[in-house]
Each structure stands twice: as C-alpha cells, then as structure tokens.
Amino acid sequence: MKRSHVRFRALGSPCELQLYGESEDAIEVIAASAVAEVERIEAKYSRYRDDTVVSEINRCAGTGRFVEVDPETDGLLDYAATTFEQSDGLFDITSGVLRKAWDFRSGRLPEEASLRGLTPLVGWRQVERRGNRVRLTREGMEIDFGGFGKEYAVDRTVGLAREAGITAGLVDLGGDVCVVGPHPDGRPWQVGIRDPRAPERAMASLPLSHGALATSGDYERYMEIDGVRYCHLLDPKTGWPVSGLAAVSVVAPQCLVAGSATTIAMLKGQRGAAWLDRLGLHHLWVRPDGTRGGSLWPNQGKTQGLRATPAP
C-alpha cells in the first residue's frame, strides 16, 4: 500500500497525518482534503481572527443582538452545554476571558481586582440561545472553542479519511491523536504519552488500533512563583489555576470525548481520577509529585485490556 505522510501547522500546533491507500495519487488527494478540513475549522472558529463566527458572537456581547449560526456551530454549542452540565460547571467556554488577567510570561500573579472584574463575565448560563440564534448577555463576555476545537478537527479529519475508504492511518493534531485504523499489516500504532515534568520526551507509549488519545497537563503554559506552579487551566468559579494533577491522558472512541474528559479531570483536581473511573474511560494520571496511576498504567487494578508501556 502507498503512504502519505504530511506535516503542517494549524490551530497553533504542529500537525501530522499518516494515511495508507492503494493509489499514491488518490491518497495524496485525500490527505490534501484532510489538511483543508483542519484549516477550514480554524478559519471558522479561531478567536484570533476577526472574521470567524466566534469573533462575531463576541463582538455582539452585551448589545442585545442575536447572531444566527449554522447547524455545525449550533451542534458545537450543544456540546458546550453538555460538557458544562457534566462537569458541574467546570468546563465553561465563557471562561477564556480570564486569560486577560493571567500573563504566564510575566512571572507575576494577577491583581485580585483584575480577577474580580472578569469573573462576572464568566458563566455559560449567561449565554442565551433561541433556536439557531445565540447572544452573550453581558458586555465583555466571550466564548472560545479552544477547549475542544482541535479535538473536533481530529474527529472530522478521521471521518473524512474513512468516508474516502481509508482503513489504515493516524491523525495527530498537536498531540491529540485518533487512529483511522491499524497499520496495513495489522500492527497497532505506538502513541507516546508525554512526561509532564519533561514534556520533550515520552514517559510511556500506548498501542492503539482504534480510538483516540488526548492529554491535558499543567506543562503547556505555566509559571512558577516561590516554588508553586500556576498553570493555564483556570477554575471558572474562582479564576485561579487548578492543581492536584500534573497531567491526564484519556482514551475514548472519539477525540472530542477524550479531550473534554482530560480537561474536566484536570479541572476536578484530586477528584478527577475517581470521576474518570466512574465514567469507565481508560486513563492515566500523573500527580505533581510524579506518582502515576489509572487504568492504563501497569499494575493498576485489572490485568487485562489496554496498557501503556513505561519508557525506559
């Protein structure tokens, strides 16, 4: 079989596609379509561009004006509502406005007055929806699909590949991974899981023949002050970074589910691992002291099923 191996940058991350097909020309066309789909999603939903639907909704915050959205955007807003409810309000796509108080390159904690001015702008229940129309009720409010946009793009890309007849391949968008199917010879893909205290290397690898793997951690954006690490994952109820877990990886049938679950578990802190256990999702957690566990980690509970292999 022929392989197309494409590396590109999108959604603020390095991205990689590996797809196998019978014809070199056909597989290249499919790979190009997959890249175009990722770029389409970024162009439609990025908060860094003025011409996206997200930016239009945010511009109208507090004006009383509703913005009409298409079925795709409406479905993503439905998903945001579901994750908000299932996370007890911790996964909130209006919480991105808190980044205005946190500059992780400054090495300084925000002023309490700054946080107090932003926390009233956070709250999914202040997002009003009527049919396929949406508005933000307070001036200064924002929504941000960054919490699941990349994972949604992974699933869309995998879906396009499968619709085109691809049965072997892998999609990796900034570390969020979904398997189209195992290698042509049936071997699983070996997917690395980063060490949160040495993110440049993998602490383990996981054999995946199907499904998705996503990871969240306190190492992506952070600062340390007086020995305390403050990461970019902020509790929407307090405006302050969460703690309790250094990283969480989750395997699920879809990357969207895996990614949301990792973020929610991180936001729940010490309670995150038990929450994943109740959901029955394969997972691996790392605490700030380096302790590791979860159903994917060797010698943790069941002896059968999917397991990570620790790096030497």
Domains and CATH numbers, the chain: 2-37+162-310 (3.10.520.10), 53-143 (1.10.3980.10)
Sign of CA pseudo-dihedral 136, 137, 142, 145 = negative
pLDDT at residue 306 in the model: 85
Q: Over 70: is that where the pLDDT of 128 sits? A: yes
Model confidence at 303, pLDDT cuts 50, 70, 90, reads very low
The tokens for 108 are 């300084």
Strand segments, DSSP code E, in the chain are 2-10, 13-21, 67-68, 127-130, 133-136, 168-173, 176-181, 189-195, 198-208, 211-217, 222-225, 228-231, 247-252, 282-286, 292-293, 309-310
Model confidence at 307, pLDDT cuts 50, 70, 90, reads confident
- 């511009």: which residue's tokens? 59
Q: Exposed, middle or buried by CB within 10 Å (0-12, 13-18, 19+), for 94?
A: buried
Model confidence at 300, pLDDT cuts 50, 70, 90, reads low
pLDDT at residue 144 in the model: 97
As a whole number, the mean pLDDT across the chain is 95
pLDDT at residue 299 in the model: 72
Report the 10 Å Cβ neighbour count for 294.
Answer: 22
Proportion of the chain above pLDDT 90, given as a percent: 93
CA atoms within 13 A on the CB side of 98: 24
Q: Over 90: is that where the pLDDT of 288 sits? A: yes
In this prediction, residues 9-35 reach a mean pLDDT of 95
